[in-house]
């Protein structure tokens, strides 16, 4: 593996940059074509309706131009991406059945240990396929379903088809269309009425091959009165060529249900991370997104809550950190369709070394959504003179009886704070790290302890040498 000096320097603090030997059962040629889409569908032995769906999505993708708003995507060469790579030995139910080199990768990432210690179930995706999925027996007995998306299609075809691509259709945007054409891997989750899964489910996504794309599709249905928490983690090796990640997450939160989706995204700095995440929330349901974005070259991600029935509530807590060579264009969407719905957006961003972070958000209240309210809080922290931050709030109110608040602040690390902490025995880097941890604390405290510790550790790695 060869890494040019600039990429090597940018990834200097990135601890997941190693790769494993490439051993694949199928590796599609570079570029996206009808033949590649048909190869994927055939490899998965899909019904005809899914192949038709994929081919229609391909036409939509080819017809849509690249977006001219948001981050600069001119460096993303879609013709140089491998859109499907099937590893040897996948979708194991026993950890012992996972191929040795793939298993070693996830062991180095701590996945088996996390499963034993603190998870109700765990999935692991390697390249284009889920290599492992497991749900603890106590939850299986209660009717909880936690499968690969492919197994969800095969084992629960009616439930799958009822909800698939209804929340994020291929027409939504260019990257939802490419995902719809070549989707592979991801999770299918169903939590029955009244069941409360009190420890998290987790899926971990790993890109290994150079110039590869990962296009997982996750579909989660939380039935009436049910509760669950799902955590997603992501890493990739550091290569000199770019990789492409374009996932789609669709979530249904039914009446009186509550669901939290947490992400700690730590892609290497050669990954374009262009993701569509959306939840449909019904009467008195609650949807919570906790979104951590540290890695990637470019991220464009705006978790959304569509509040469809009275009393529905949505919350997005977002943290983004941009260093040199990175643009984190992240934010949130809260859309009120029904009366007496409510939303909260809290966005924290940190920029250093000419890195750029952007908040891009939408709050929309449709006519008839009486008594609805959303509050938006955007806070940006700049660590040096070269860092940049931007805020792009879109607020559209069509109902007179509604309330929207928006507050934004931009600040720099205060020299007096640094000096005070140094007088208490901390080094300059330690002092800056303490200030940053305090800045992100409202979001870190919402994660389970193990993941909050991991988030703080990743922030500390990114902070090394940032001051002075």
3-state SS assignment for residue 204: strand
Beta bridge mates, 254: none
Query: How far is Cα 11 from Cα 7, in angstroms, rounded to an integer?
Result: 6
Sorted by sequence, the CB contacts under 8 Å of residue 48 that are 6+ apart come out as none
For the whole model, what pTM was predicted? 0.90
Angle at Cα 191 formed by Cα 373 and Cα 139, nearest 5°? 135
Instruction: Take residue 258 and report the two structure tokens written for it.
Output: 């509550």
Write out the H or E segment, with its range, that includes residue 86: strand 85-87
The pLDDT assigned to 446 comes to 83
Q: How far is CA 110 from CA 97, 134, 213, 461, in A?
A: 17, 16, 23, 18
Query: How far is Cα 164 from Cα 166, in angstroms, rounded to an integer?
Result: 6
The pLDDT assigned to 67 comes to 93
The pLDDT assigned to 82 comes to 93
The pLDDT assigned to 125 comes to 79
Query: How far is Cα 43 from Cα 226, in angstroms, rounded to an integer?
Result: 35
The pLDDT assigned to 241 comes to 77
Task: Tell me the pLDDT tens digit for each residue of 361-385.
Answer: 999 999 999 999 999 999 999 998 8
* Sign for the pseudo-dihedral over CA of 452, 456, 461, 466: positive
DSSP 384: S
Q: Is 314 left (phi over 0), alpha (psi -120 to 50) or beta?
A: beta
Residue 66 burial by CB count (10 A; 0-12/13-18/19+): exposed, middle or buried?
Answer: exposed
Q: Are 271 and 52 in contact (CB under 8 A)?
A: no
Instruction: Using only the alpha carbons of the chain, give its radius of gyration.
Output: 21
Q: Say what the alpha-carbon torsion angle 3, 4, 6, 9 is, to the nearest 10 degrees.
A: 40
The pLDDT assigned to 468 comes to 42
The pLDDT assigned to 302 comes to 97
Q: C-alpha 309: how far from its chain's center?
A: 26
The pLDDT assigned to 2 comes to 34
Query: How far is Cα 407 from Cα 74, in angstroms, rounded to an integer?
Result: 32
Sorted by sequence, the CB contacts under 8 Å of residue 77 that are 6+ apart come out as 242
The pLDDT assigned to 330 comes to 96
Sorted by sequence, the CB contacts under 8 Å of residue 101 that are 6+ apart come out as 20, 21, 23
3-state SS assignment for residue 464: coil
Query: How far is Cα 310 from Cα 289, in angstroms, rounded to an integer?
Result: 20
Positions of the chain with pLDDT under 50: 1-8, 10-12, 14, 18-19, 468
The pLDDT assigned to 234 comes to 76
The pLDDT assigned to 3 comes to 37
């Amino acid at each position: 593996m060869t890494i040019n000096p600039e990429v090597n320097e940018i990834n200097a603090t990135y601890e997941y940059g190693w790769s494993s030997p490439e051993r694949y059962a199928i590796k599609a040629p570079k570029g996206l074509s009808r033949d590649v889409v048909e190869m994927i569908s055939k490899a998965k032995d899909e019904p005809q309706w899914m192949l038709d769906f994929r081919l229609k999505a391909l036409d939509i993708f080819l017809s849509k131009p690249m977006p001219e708003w948001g981050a600069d995507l001119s460096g993303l060469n879609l013709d140089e991406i491998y859109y499907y790579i099937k590893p040897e030995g996948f979708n194991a139910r026993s950890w012992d059945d996972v191929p040795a080199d793939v298993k070693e990768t996830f062991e180095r990432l701590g996945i088996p240990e996390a499963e034993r210690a603190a998870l109700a179930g765990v999935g692991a995706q390697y390249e284009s396929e889920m290599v492992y999925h497991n749900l603890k027996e106590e939850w299986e007995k209660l009717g909880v379903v936690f499968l690969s998306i492919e197994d969800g299609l095969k084992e629960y075809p009616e439930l799958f088809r009822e909800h698939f691509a209804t929340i994020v259709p291929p027409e939504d945007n260019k990257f939802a269309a490419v995902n719809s054409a070549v989707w592979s891997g991801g999770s299918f989750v169903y939590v029955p009425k009244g069941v409360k899964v009190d420890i998290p489910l987790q899926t971990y996504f790993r890109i290994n091959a150079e110039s590869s794309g990962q296009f997982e599709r996750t579909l989660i249905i939380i039935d009436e009165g049910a509760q669950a928490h799902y955590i997603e983690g992501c890493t990739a090796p550091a290569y000199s060529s770019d990789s492409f990640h374009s996932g789609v997450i669709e979530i249904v939160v039914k009446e009186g249900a509550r669901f939290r989706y947490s992400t700690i995204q730590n892609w290497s700095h050669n990954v374009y991370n262009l993701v569509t995440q959306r939840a449909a929330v019904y009467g008195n349901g609650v949807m919570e997104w906790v979104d951590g974005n540290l890695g990637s070259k470019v991220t464009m991600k705006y978790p959304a809550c569509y509040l469809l029935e009275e009393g529905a509530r949505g919350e997005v807590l977002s943290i983004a950190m941009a260093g040199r060579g990175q643009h984190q264009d992240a934010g949130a969407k809260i859309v009120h369709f029904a009366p007496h719905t409510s939303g909260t957006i809290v966005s924290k961003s940190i920029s250093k070394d000419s890195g750029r972070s952007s908040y891009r958000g939408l709050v929309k209240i449709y006519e008839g959504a009486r008594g609805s309210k959303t509050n938006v809080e955007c806070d940006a922290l700049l660590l040096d003179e070269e860092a940049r931050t931007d805020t792009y709030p879109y607020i559209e109110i069509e109902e007179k009886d509604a309330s929207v608040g928006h507050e934004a602040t931009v600040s720099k690390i205060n020299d007096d704070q640094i000096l005070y902490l140094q007088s208490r025995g901390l080094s300059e880097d330690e002092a800056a790290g303490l200030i940053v941890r305090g800045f992100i604390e409202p979001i870190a405290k919402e994660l389970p302890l193990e993941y909050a510790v991991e988030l703080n550790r990743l922030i500390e790695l990114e902070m090394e040498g940032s001051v002075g």
